[in-house]
Structure 1
Amino acid sequence: MEFSRTDPKSSDSLFTQSSTLVCYGMLADTSRFYTLIFYAPAATLIPVITTFDKTGERIYDQGVDFGCWDGGPYSYECDGQIKIDSKMNLNLEHVTTCFDCDSTSSKPVKYFEKRKGKIRNDGMIELEAIKR
């Protein structure tokens, strides 16, 4: 999937002053605030949910990545998803697969993680602790 980068010379500048962010999309407009989903640069692109009031002032940022265990000596693969329902409830799921973590078996080891949260009516974002 190809994502467009933010353009600081366009109306994107109302929400970000950086061309290094990759915009994924915008949730349906509420009467109180806008909600955008960006990918911010790190070792990989990290999903971030950001809310803005109707004048473009940032209300809150929340990174929603579980993180993948980068680096050796093990081989890892990570996959995650975020579901946001019409009531602004967040459901995050993440699977990390380690291909050579267990010296007694050749089977990959999978780690499952879940989080729930909510984008509140005031634009603030709540996330519960990670459940493994």
Structure 2
Amino acid sequence: SGFFRTIFSSTMGVSISVSAIFWLFIFNPSIGILNQIAAFLHLPILNWSTDPNLAMISVIISTVWMNLGFAFLVLFSAFESLPLSLYEETAIEGASPAYRFMHVTIPLISPTLFFVSIITLIESFKSFGLIDLMTAGGPN
């Protein structure tokens, strides 16, 4: 679990400008990794930065990537703090894993889910820098 914590939390230390350059390289129509994979698979090459729909998708992907580390760390710590005795009791009573998740796990981590949702919503309003650097004002 330490390896995954390190991998997912590494996105928290990346600045917006470095993230924009990283994703511009991935979405580049001529040398980008995504289009190289598409060419290898004989799929059409997409111009991620000039198509209005694809530009929005590329900005959404990069914004989610930047905010994923914080949400992962907070939710991971919430899952680790859950008492195992409740799961043992519900397993003895014959509850299914889906029932345990919906009626034990979700209620116990609901304050953490609310916190992560609010913080992620606030962070999404701060994505102008990423949009400006990736699209330079955007297509259209």
Structure 1 and Structure 2 fold alike (TM over 0.5)? no
Structure that is richer in helix per residue: 2
**TM category, shorter:** under 0.3
Q: TM-score, normalised by structure 1?
A: 0.24
Higher relative contact order (CA 8 A, sep 6+): 2
Structure with a larger share of its residues in strand: 1
TM-score for both structures, normalised by structure 2: 0.24
